[in-house]
Amino acid sequence: MENRRLTVLAVFQHCVEAIRKGSLIKRESSKDKEFHFQDWFKRRLKDSEFNFDQGGRNSYPDFTMVEFTEGYEIKGLAYPGRDASFDSNSQVPTGLHNGRTLFYVFGRYPKSPDGNAYPVLDLVVCHGDFLNVNHEYEHQNKSVKGFGSYGDILIRNRKMYVVPTPFRLVEGVAHQQTLILPMEIEPGKGFLEVGLLKRVEAAQMVVGYSFNLQTNHLAPLKAPNPGAGKEHVFRAWRLKGSNASPVIMRVIGSAALESDNDDEKSNG
């Protein structure tokens, strides 16, 4: 991937500069629980002067670039609060969707601000492959008929994916502005490398599941992962002049992730 084809470098720079200048998130009212951080990021896209399109409420990703095959999915996280995972209702995160390279933008903001304008506390922009490197899975909602006493109730299998955030996966990103890119991408002048991050594919992968309506038991169906043990290497970057504290992978067992995700509530 050629750097000249990446908008993310300039967009990240505009985000960091806006935070340094004190550009605040502005919500319409306390009832605005979803789009306030997205609106803040939209202003940064406008600052970058790239042409972009904004999707509808259920579109994916949230923003697509016009002249570049890139897109941005935005995740605002209230802090303190749920920031270890996020719900993905429409798609499994990935770094490539419909021919576009996808970047995820995570921004934390005060959970209980004293007004309708407040700062971005920290920011992580990461390539979607850092969250999931599988590009082949196609999300679909299916249904089954015949449920209920009269056999005329339909059960809709509408999947929700609960995904760990960079704030859970790595240490050193809190209260900083960090860009996570695949190893081969060189941001160039103006960027400082602060971490080498490796993610290793699991031995097995879930290829299906079954749910017993009488016992409410949900059971996964697993198969060997063709990419088992394969390392995917990323690097963490900051703008020069930022804090150079290191970013490292956090050691987390799969059982801990499952427990965290089951117990956490959505930000709203």
Q: Is residue 68 part of a domain?
A: yes
**pTM of the full predicted structure?**
0.91
Q: Is residue 217 part of a domain?
A: no
Q: Is residue 218 part of a domain?
A: no
Task: Tell me: pLDDT of 22 over 80.
Answer: yes
Q: Is residue 213 part of a domain?
A: no
pLDDT in tens, 162-214: 999 999 999 999 999 999 999 999 999 999 999 999 999 999 999 999 999 99
pLDDT at position 264: 43
SS (H, E, C) the chain: CCHHHCCHHHHHHHHHHHHHHCCCEECCCCCCCCCHHHHHHHHHHHHHCCCEEECCCCCCCCEEECCCCEEEEEEEEEECCCCCEEEECCCCCCCEECCEEEEEEEEEEECCCCCCEECCCEEEEEEHHHCCCCCCCCCCCEEEEEECCCCCEEEEECCCEEEECHHHHEECCCCCEEEEEECCCCCCCCEEEEEEEEEECCCEEEEEEEEECCCCEEEEEEEECCCCCCEEEEEEEEECCCCCCCCEECCCCHHHHHHHHHHCCCCC
Average pLDDT over residues 211-240: 96
pLDDT in tens, 57-79: 778 999 999 999 999 999 999 99
Task: Tell me: pLDDT of 17 over 80.
Answer: yes
Q: Is residue 28 part of a domain?
A: yes
Domain count, the chain: 1
Q: Is residue 140 part of a domain?
A: yes
| Domain span at 69 | 3-200+231-263
Q: Is residue 174 part of a domain?
A: yes
Q: Is residue 223 part of a domain?
A: no
